[in-house]
Amino acid sequence: MKIVTFRRESDNFDDIYNDPVIKKCFRQKMKWKNFLRITVEDEKVLSYIELKFGEAIVNKIVPDRSPIPNVDYSPKR
């Protein structure tokens, strides 16, 4: 199983919901404001999803806020 997260400003994911290839492989769907997260059972469908809806896929929802050496702090040498 693989989890794929989509983000769109329009908050319209009807094309993903109604796609006949993906519709058969949904395991779980979760939607919140401007985001859609799906769990797909079939690993073969992931290539299809990435090709057709790749511009809407996000890897990280929360940005990395870890401190940067020499920017946020000075490391001891």
The candidate with the shortest Cα–Cα distance to 26, out of 7, 45, 50, 48, is 45
Buried b (16+ CB within 10 A) or exposed e, 12-43: ebeebeebeebeebeeeeeeeeebbbbebeee
Residue 6 belongs to what H/E stretch?
strand 2-7
End-to-end CA distance of the chain: 45
Stated pTM of the model:
0.72
Are 2 and 59 spatial neighbours (Cβ–Cβ below 8 Å)? no
Q: What is the pLDDT of residues 25-51, one digit of tens each?
A: 888 899 999 999 999 888 888 889 989
User: Band of the pLDDT at 13, cuts 50, 70, 90?
Assistant: very high
